[in-house]
A = this chain, B = another copy of it.
Amino acid sequence: MPKHQRDISNKTKNIVGSPIRKITRLLEEAGEKESIISFGGGAPSLAPPQESMNHLIEKLRKEPQRSVCYNSTPGLLKTREAVTEMLKEEEKIDIDPKEEITLTAGGTQGLYAALQTLINPGQEVMISDPAYVGYPEAIKLAGGKVNRIKTTWQEDFQITPEKINNNITKKTEALILLSPDNPTGRMLTEKNLKGIIEVVEDQDLWLITDDIYKDIVFEDQEFINTRKIGAYENTVTCSSFSKTASVPGMRIGYTYGPKEVIKNMTQLLQYEALCIGRIPQIFLQHFLSEKGKHKRNYIQKEVLPVYKHRKNIMKKVLKEKLPKAGYSEPKGAFYYFLDVSRYLENYKDEEQFSHELYKEAEVVVIPGGYFGEEGKNHVRLTFVSEPEDRIKEGINRISEFLVS
């Protein structure tokens, strides 16, 4: 018998570590230095809803054992029902809590499991360019290939039915839509959404909608569930409460879609994760109770006013201090995606600029190239992670760094 050659699998060999996660880890290991102003991560900086936290604390005190025992893979039926009632109330759609939904440990786990469930090796998944950094590697881990649809700030980062039709190949199996979008803050127009649904229906593709920013919308915008305007049955929706309830470290999200997809996903999740935590479910059961009263109060009174204010502050300071940066006003989510090409003459690219900026001025921004080719010469700035005075101070530092 020839000598066996032990090795690491090819699955993870070709995967690229998320540069944003690397920054998270560096900042964490640097001990969260006060002087560093971070426009980096996509994390809310607000306290979670106090009443729901109090409810959780009370349950942990009174029923410690019941709070930490196993539960079924799709999550407690009571929690699934709370989520489907929320969907009925807010988005006017009927999802069967027993068969059409599974809870997940955040949106990431839902998207990973959905792609594993839907994509065979060699098939293509369409995403925008720029797009959330998690998509390409999650697609590759399912054996899939990435098909990019170019968008620009001059066109408000819109994905149009025409662009999809032009990019489609016979290997295309799915399209991922993220609206409101990371990194651009773009929301797709109802007209474009309708047209896109017609194309995916005509081409018989899976439509994956990532709704994690659905509650973070500004001004007169309204979040649109694609089921309401197109009723395309082969739609799988991943979402999470990380942004909505400011609890990214609790790890709670959900995925809903056709029964067969959810059944297969749940079987995968059994062996991938067994089940999600009980503690986030206890929190969630309160947060979604009374027909979503607590949730609405929190979003309307605590979250949106602060984020809107910070968005406006950042806009004002950007206009003043970085007038040559190009961007499309964010309609939702957390980010300004700035075209900084007119500031990069002294740098190799936006990555080198970001690196120097961090070293010299202790301001963290994310190089746009991480999000795709079209993101080059851009940087992403989160406007929710720092309070007003530090937003001003951070943009000031960038401006001073550029003239120094």
Interface residues of A (CB under 8 A from B): 1-13, 15-18, 21, 24-25, 28-29, 41, 43, 45-48, 50, 53, 56-57, 60-61, 64-65, 67-74, 76-77, 105-106, 108-109, 112, 116-120, 134, 137-138, 141-142, 170, 172-173, 203-206, 234, 246-251, 260-261, 264-268, 270-280
- If A28-B76, A268-B15 touch, does A69 touch B53 (CB 8 Å cutoff)? no
Alpha-carbon gap, A45 to B69, bound state (A):
8
A127 to chain B minimum Cβ distance, whole angstroms, is 14
What are 14 A-to-B residue pairs whose CB atoms are below 8 Å? A8-B264, A9-B117, A11-B268, A28-B72, A28-B77, A43-B69, A48-B65, A60-B60, A68-B247, A69-B249, A105-B251, A109-B272, A109-B274, A273-B273
Copies in the complex: 2
- Chain B residues near A46 (CB, 8 Å)? 65
- Chain B residues near A268 (CB, 8 Å)? 11-12, 15, 141
- Chain B residues near A29 (CB, 8 Å)? 72, 77
- If A72-B25, A106-B274, A273-B109 touch, does A8 touch B260 (CB 8 Å cutoff)? yes
B64 touches A60 (CB 8 A): no
A72 touches B272 (CB 8 A): no
Alpha-carbon gap, A29 to B45, bound state (A):
37
A9 touches B116 (CB 8 A): yes
Alpha-carbon gap, A68 to B48, bound state (A):
8
Name A43's closest neighbour in chain B (CB-CB).
B70
- If A24-B70, A251-B277 touch, does A12 touch B264 (CB 8 Å cutoff)? yes
B119 touches A9 (CB 8 A): yes
User: Pick the contact of A272 from B53, B65, B112, B275 — CB < 8 Å?
Assistant: B112
A204 touches B4 (CB 8 A): yes
User: Pick the contact of A138 from B11, B266, B271 — CB < 8 Å?
Assistant: B271
